[in-house]
Structure 1
C-alpha cells in the first residue's frame, strides 16, 4: 500500500493515503498546539467500516461537515448499520469525548463527504497552562455524540487554523486550543443542567422533520408530537441539537443541496428549487450562512 506525503512550506504535514475497501479517498493534516494535537480529516464515501479511534490520551472527536449518510460514534464496534432514525441524528455538528485508552469506534455509511476533527489532550501541559481553571483528572467519563455550540464553533476555527499558512497562526491556534480545553474541562461543567428532549422524542421529531423536507413543519405540530408547549419545545430542541428548529431546517436544506451539488451537474438555480429555496438568491444567502461560502465556491472546492 502506497502512502503519499507532501511537505508544505509552513511545516504542516499533508497526507493522502488509501483507506478501507469501501472508502474512495482520505486526506488529513496533523498539527500540534499548546497542550493538544489536532488532526483534521477529509473522508470521501460511500462508506467506511468500523474504525477504532481509541487514543493513549483523552480525545475529542468532532464531525464538522457531512454530506449524505451518517457517522455514528460508539464505545463498542457496531455489528451492523442502523438507520438515522434509530441513531437519533445523522447530520454533522456532534462531539464525542473519550478518556485515554478507552475503546471508541466510528461507523459511517452512505455518505459522500465527512470532515472530522480529532483533538488529543496533553493533560500535564494543560494543567501547567490553565491551573485551577480546568479540572485535570485521569478518571473522565465518556460523552458520546453530544452537542455544544460553543465548542463546535471553536473546533471549526481550529480546523481552519490547522490548514493556515499565516505567520501569526501559531498564537491564534494556541488561543483556540486553550479555549476548547477551558470549555471542555472547566470546573463545575459536569454539574451544568440542560433540559433537552428525551432521546425517543428527539428521534421521532427529527425523523418527521427529515421526511417533510424540503417543506417545514409548523412549530405547533412539532411541539404537539412531544406533548410540550411551543416555547418549551424550542428551548428543549435547541438544548438537544445545538440549534433552534428553524435553523435546523435551514441546515438540513443546505445539506440536501450539498448532495445535489456533488451528485448532479444541475445549475445553482435548479439546485435551489429542488432543495426548497424560493430562488437562487435566497439559496446563496442561506448556504453562505450555514457553510461559510457560496454554493458555487463550495462545489469548486469539492472538485465538481
Structure 2
C-alpha cells in the first residue's frame, strides 16, 4: 500500500504520514505526526482491536485517554503501549507536541483465531491496557515498521513477527520458552517445500501446517533447529538462486530480479550485497563469467 498523507487534520497537527502493510491478519501502520502545540484527537476503530506503540516523541509526551477530558491514570514511560478492544474509543493527547512516530497494529481477530489456534487467548484482547511496556513487543514492532514496502519476500518475515506480537499479547506475563527443535524429517520436509516453491511468496501458516504446528511454535522450533528464521532461510535460498542465474547466463539484472521474486534490480542489488558483501555485477565478474 502506498504512503498516505492525510488532509483532514486535527487542530495543531501540521501533517500525518501513514504507511500500511498487512501480514497474517494484522495491519501494521507506521505513522509520523508533526504538530505545533497541544493535540487532542480521536482514534476510534469501531470494528477492530488495535495496539498502539509510541516509537518516538519530540517536544512533549503523548498520552492515551479513554475519555476526551480525563487524563490517563498511569505514569508516562518511554515507548508506552495501549491495547484497545474493538469499539472502544481512544483519544491521543499531548500538551506541546512537535513530532511523534507511533505504530498501530490492527488485528483481524477472527482470522487470527483460525490461524494461530493454540496461541490465541481471547480474554487478553477484551480489556483495555494503557501505558504498559514490553521490550519484546517493541523490538518486533520496530522490525515490522522497518520492512521495506518493495520487499517481495517479506511475507514470511511479516507473518513471523506479527505472530510473535500476538503470542506475547496473549500471554503477557509469561516469558517466551525456548523453541523445541524440529525432528530431522520435519526440517527436510519444510526446507524441501520452500525450495520447491521458490521464488513464490510463502505464508508462515503453509509451513506450520506441513508438520501440524501453530505458527508461533513452528517459527521458534525452526530457528532452534536451523539457527535462522524461515524468512532468513528462504532469503538465503533466493540469493543462491540469483547466483546460479548470474553464472549460467548474461541476462540483465532486471530479468534476474523478476525470475527470483525481487521487485526490481535495485531491490535485488541491495539484498544481494547485504547477504554476500558484493554487488551482483562484482560477484558475477569474480566468479567466472566475463
> TM-score by structure 1 length?
0.52
Question: Is the contact made by 1:50 and 1:78 (CA closer than 8 Å) also made in structure 2?
Answer: no
Question: Is the contact made by 2:63 and 2:93 (CA closer than 8 Å) also made in structure 1?
Answer: yes
2:170 corresponds in structure 1 to: 185
C-alpha RMSD of matched pairs (Å): 2.4
Q: Which string of whole-angstrom CA distances, capped at 9 and with x for unpartnered residues, describes residues 128-178 of structure 1? A: 1111122125961110011111111111111112x4322212221111111
Question: Is the contact made by 2:75 and 2:131 (CA closer than 8 Å) also made in structure 1?
Answer: no
Question: Is the contact made by 2:25 and 2:112 (CA closer than 8 Å) also made in structure 1?
Answer: yes
What displacement does 1:50 show? 2.2
Q: Does 1:72 align with 2:86?
A: no
> TM-score by structure 2 length?
0.55
What displacement does 1:33 show? 1.0
Distance 1:47 1:70 in 2: 12
Larger radius of gyration: 2
Equivalent residue of 2:89, what SS? coil
Equivalent residue of 2:18, what SS? strand
Question: Is the contact made by 1:45 and 1:109 (CA closer than 8 Å) also made in structure 2?
Answer: no
Change (3 A) 1:47 1:30: farther
Distance 2:125 2:164 in 1: 21
Question: Is the contact made by 2:52 and 2:102 (CA closer than 8 Å) also made in structure 1?
Answer: yes
1:52 corresponds in structure 2 to: 42
2:117 corresponds in structure 1 to: 131
Question: Is the contact made by 1:99 and 1:138 (CA closer than 8 Å) also made in structure 2?
Answer: no
Distance 2:124 2:79 in 1: 26
1:93 to 66, 79, 84: 79
Distance 2:122 2:140 in 1: 20
Distance 1:54 1:138 in 2: 20
Long gaps (5+) in structure 2: 176-290
Change (3 A) 1:14 1:141: same
2:149 corresponds in structure 1 to: 164
